[in-house]
Amino acid sequence: MSVFGKDEVAINKFAASMPLPVFDVTSFSQPVSLSRAKIAIVTTAALHRLDEDGFELGDNDAHFEKLPRNARDLAIGHHSVNFDRGGFAADINVVYPIDRLEEMEDAKIIGDVADYHYAFAGNQSDTVSEIRLDSGPLCAKAMLDEGVDVVLLTGT
């Protein structure tokens, strides 16, 4: 019996059978040039600061955590035993590339790094209704209010 997280065939089969929301229209926008763009990260690694409660086990926690740009005291709330946490243990940037963005800002490749970034839990209900209708738009509004131009979504 293979370990699920290492079995790419099983993962692809899982992805193919995953229920997904269907959209009639695909949103597509043209942002400002990269060298002028303010960029925020949204990750599904369930990151949270050490002094926060973090995320609940199971598939019913649709809230998001707001991560200040300078925060590095982050724990990974992706608690599945079938998840490889070694990469994150070694380097936060492998799921949350905040230091890489700051380097790109210093090199003037991007315009700015947002003051706040966001983490959701990747394990969600089949319909993801709570995120689609509530916490997702709330998170998007927070980024719009800050003037974010581009969102980098990192899935785990």
Query: Whose Cβ is closer to another protein: residue 53's or residue 145's?
Result: 53
| Shortest reach from residue 69's CB to another protein, in Å | 14
Per CB under 8 A, the list member of 36, 60, 68, 99 interacting with another protein is 99
CA 85 to chain centre: 15
Q: What is the CA radius of gyration of the chain?
A: 16
What is the rounded distance in angstroms from the CA atom of residue 63 to the CA atom of residue 122?
Answer: 11
- 127 lies in the site for another protein, by CB under 8 A: no
16 forms part of the interface with another protein (CB under 8 A): yes
Helices within the chain (DSSP H only): 8-17, 86-90, 98-106, 129-130, 136-146
**Six token digits for residue 149:** 């131009």
Q: Which stretch binds another protein (CB under 8 A): 31-39, 59-67, 113-121, 131-139?
A: 31-39
Binders of another protein in range 67-86 (CB under 8 A): 72-76, 78-79, 81-86
